[in-house]
Amino acid sequence: MCGIVGLLLKRPALRPALGELMLPMFIGMTERGPDSGGLAVYGDRAASGERRFSLYAGESAVDWDAVAADVRTRFGQSTIEINGNHAIVEVNAAPEAMAQWIAEAHPDIALLSAGRTMDLYKDIGAPGEIAERYGFGRLRGTHVVGHTRMATESAVTPAHAHPFTFGDDFCLVHNGSLSNPNNVRRELEHQGVSFVTDNDTEAACRYLGHRLNEGDDLETAVTRGFSVLDGFYTLLIGTRDTLAIVRDPFACKPAIVAETDDYVAISSEYRSLAALPGVESARLFEPRPRQLYQWRVQ
């Protein structure tokens, strides 16, 4: 199954070191999730009016410069940051428009995320390799949601790695196994929500994301989720300005929180938090079941 990690920096002065602080946490979850991993990082990123789109080419050989040119043609002024099989395009475009265009014009590229403050990376491989590939240790920002994966029901492909995203700046990672993801997915498809995979986490992500779209706040959406999402889950959620965690009523999948004046750090296991500065005097606790815990960026 998986390891989850989350980190929110309360103190602005620490934000340039987000990646440095998070990296040992991510690597610390390698045993729980040896075969793929991913990370969503939040912070002031896009110039006003613009959106950032995280793109992923997997094993395909992609000419990113050509892609950048196509984006300019289609959507206007844009920038691109390239990193191997991953790129971030910043442009003024709506998420649905970009999604549709990518699917038609560049079907071998996956659109991982859309948002104003969130970038997203996911790939196959050991967490250490992935972190190295994308320079996780150098990331800056306010908060991060990460995941390492041991594949369960769906294939080990990058699309099935977490985090899953929805709309703008919403992402979710999951440790556990939902027992009714197919019905949840079908119901959402009837309501016009499209899916990329048959992964149970995507079902949870799109369910909550859809509820937020419909006007629920996160607490309401999660509460509704208790009667809709069946099975075992610890969910770690990121939004533009929030890091949140919730566990199902059985709380079989682990989670531990370390909180100081400087940060809130969350992981599946304490050993991945052990290297954080000040953790010896942190408030350590395990989230109770059936309760949403949220922390907001100041």
- Give the residues lining the site for other proteins (CB under 8 A): 1-3, 31-35, 150-153, 175-177, 232, 249-254, 256, 268-275, 284-286, 288-289
Written in H, E and C, the secondary structure of the chain is CEEEEEEEECCHHHHHHHHHHHHHHHHCCCCCCECEEEEEEECCCCCCCCEEEEEECCCCCCCHHHHHHHHHHHHCCEEEEEECCEEEEEECCCHHHHHHHHHHHCCCCEEEEEECCEEEEEEECCHHHHHHHHCHHHCCCCEEEEEEECCCCCCCCHHHCCCEEECECEEEEEEEEECCHHHHHHHHHHCCCCCCCCCHHHHHHHHHHHHHHCCCCHHHHHHHHHHHCCEEEEEEEEECCEEEEEECCCCCCCCEEEECCCEEEEECCHHHCCCCCCHHHCEEECCCECCCEEEECC
- The length of the chain is 298
Smallest separation (angstroms) from other proteins to the CB of 265: 13
Smallest separation (angstroms) from other proteins to the CB of 289: 7
Active-site residue, 252 included: no
In the complex with other proteins, the residue whose CB is nearer, 99 or 256, is 256
User: What CA–CA distance (Å, rounded) separates 200 from 159?
Assistant: 12
Given the residues 2, 171, 205, 252, select the one marked as catalytic: 2
In the complex with other proteins, the residue whose CB is nearer, 123 or 248, is 248
Q: Are 290 and 279 in contact (CB under 8 A)?
A: no
In the complex with other proteins, the residue whose CB is nearer, 29 or 41, is 29
Smallest separation (angstroms) from other proteins to the CB of 206: 22
Smallest separation (angstroms) from other proteins to the CB of 255: 10
226 backbone dihedrals φ, ψ, rounded to 5°: -60, -30
Smallest separation (angstroms) from other proteins to the CB of 146: 15
In the complex with other proteins, the residue whose CB is nearer, 14 or 274, is 274
In the complex with other proteins, the residue whose CB is nearer, 228 or 284, is 284
Smallest separation (angstroms) from other proteins to the CB of 262: 19
In the complex with other proteins, the residue whose CB is nearer, 262 or 269, is 269
Q: Catalytic site residues?
A: 2
